[in-house]
Amino acid sequence: MLIIGPPGSGKGTQAERISERLGIVAISTGDMFRANVKSGTPLGVEAGKYLDAGHFVPDSVTNGMVRDRLSETDVEQGFLLDGYPRTIEQVDYLDGILADGGHTLDVVLQLTADDEELVARLLGRARESGRSDDTEEVIRHRLDLYSGQTSVVVARYAERDIRTLVDGIGPVDEVTERAMQSIRETQAA
């Protein structure tokens, strides 16, 4: 399963809640990037250059991290990817990883939210946590990148009829309930 949505749409929060309810592991590429940056790994040093500027990390770096993560045993009963794939090339790469293991995606959950709401959320988070990557200029740049690069990804999954849209605005519990209902409906179809 994938969860996709613009920065600040609640993907991380919802990924944790959904994975807990379904008994599967949540895998955040953002967390993988931050862990590698903090540890100073070669992939982390490379990723850090892009993250600090508000750009997406190149596919070569991201794909390697995802392939390594999906080879671990805790994903055998299922997983929920948060933040990947973001490009058609990554979709194809993920398809290959899954095919190698005899798997396919079941559901792509797309959280939606208004850009102005997202900017306000992310600026609030920046004030609370001191995240250096959340300035208004960087946030708007990330939203533009998301929109431009991931629209084709979303379209690909819509063609496969595994994408489901969920309004990401509102109390966290309500968004979770909408997401779980949408997952049930998509799997039943």
Question: Which residue shows structure tokens 């920065």?
Answer: 7
Segments making up each domain of the chain, as ranges: 2-184
Measured distance CA(151)–CA(156) in Å, rounded: 9
pLDDT above 70 for 133? no
Told to judge if 156 belongs to the known catalytic residues of this protein, a careful annotator would answer no
Identified catalytic residue from 17, 86, 121, 178:
86
Q: Is the dihedral of CA 83, 105, 184, 158 positive or negative?
A: positive
How many angstroms separate the Cα of 71 from the Cα of each of 17, 75, 86? 23, 8, 20
CB 25 within 8 A of CB 75: yes
Residue 134 reports pLDDT greater than 80: no
* 162 bridge partner residues: none
Q: For 77-122, what is each residue's pLDDT tens digit? A: 899 999 899 889 999 999 999 999 889 999 999 999 999 999 999 9
Catalytic, 121? Answer: no
Residue 24 has pLDDT above 70, yes or no: yes
Binding site annotation covers 40? no
What pLDDT does 64 receive? Answer: 86
Distances (CA, A) of 110 to 38, 46, 138: 29, 28, 22
CA–CA separation, 161 and 109 (whole Å)? 11
Candidates 115, 124, 166, 169; CA nearest to 142 is 115
Average pLDDT over the chain, rounded to an integer: 90
pLDDT at 98: 95
The single residue of 49, 131, 160, 184 carrying the catalytic annotation is 131
Please indicate whether residue 86 or residue 26 has the higher confidence score (pLDDT). 26
Q: Give the class (CATH, top level) of 2-184.
A: alpha beta
125 labeled part of a ligand binding site: yes
The answer to whether residue 186 scores a pLDDT higher than 90 is no
Tell me: pLDDT of 156 over 70: yes
**Residue 75 contacts residue 27 (beta carbons within 8 Å):** yes
168 is in an annotated binding site: no
pLDDT value of residue 93: 97
Task: State the residue for tokens 């008994």.
Answer: 23
